[in-house]
Amino acid sequence: MISEWSTAAGRALRAVRNAPAPMTYVLIGLCCLLFALGPASGLAPGYGSGDALLSAQRAYFRRWGVVPAELFAGPARAALTPATALFLHGSWVHLLGNMLFLFVFGVMTEERMGRVEFTLFYVGCGYLALLGYAAANAASEQSLVGASGAISAVLGAFLYLFPRARVTSLLPFLFFLPLRFPAWVVLPFWAALQWAAARQASDGPGVAYLAHLVGFGLGFGYAWVRYGRTARVRSAPAPAPEGENQP
């Protein structure tokens, strides 16, 4: 049995290593693994159930997530939390929505940037996106977790690098009909929705729309400065279908 598991693991590692965008798959796998091992998944019996589970979730997110009030006035270790929070998620819907967006837009972006640059770009922009949200809500005691800021940066870079790549979207006001639009239509529309939602959002529990906007701007700006006009692709293979889940 151990030999079979070792062989399967070896094959999986070789498949990831030989993939055109290995770090995208590694990031997805890491987020999924940490979620499964954490209290939010409900899969780890060691955290208990009922009130004990809820208490464990609060403590876990406060320890590893971003708490703005502690980030700027707490212990030095709090400075690491924008990095650790990137790999944690609060629910199955939160995880699956983010991983869908990372898969759809991350593969082509990583292929263009290269695995090392893409990884540094992902973590760096994600860190700054969460830091920007925390700075705007410096008194908040709410824990913030999720890869949304980093994935939004990937969307911003994708928009600059592949503006004409066609993305399949499901629009609720058109009865969820799958329609294909170029990235320069879909992604600015998505960013506008985040901006509108951020204006109405509070610093309480919910979606950190401001982190999405900061990440999106950082990603677009990085691709613009780093690659210039010569890197833009006029036509590219269409990404996989995208749903309405938002990072």
Catalytic residue positions? 148, 212
Compute CA distances 133 → 25, 97, 207, whole Å.
27, 20, 11
Q: Of the candidates 206, 233, 243, 225, which has an alpha carbon nearest to the alpha carbon of residue 91?
A: 206
Neighbouring residues of 225: CB distance < 8 A, sequence distance ≥ 6: none
Q: How far apart are CA 102 and CA 150, in angstroms?
A: 9
Backbone angles phi, psi at 183, to 5 degrees: -60, -35
Q: How far apart are CA 119 and CA 140, in angstroms?
A: 29
Rounded (10°) angle between helices 92-113 and 22-37: 160
Question: What would you report as the CA-atom Rg of the chain, rounded to the nearest whole angstrom?
Answer: 19
Q: How far apart are CA 101 and CA 79, in angstroms?
A: 27
Compute CA distances 18 → 14, 104, 226, whole Å.
6, 19, 26
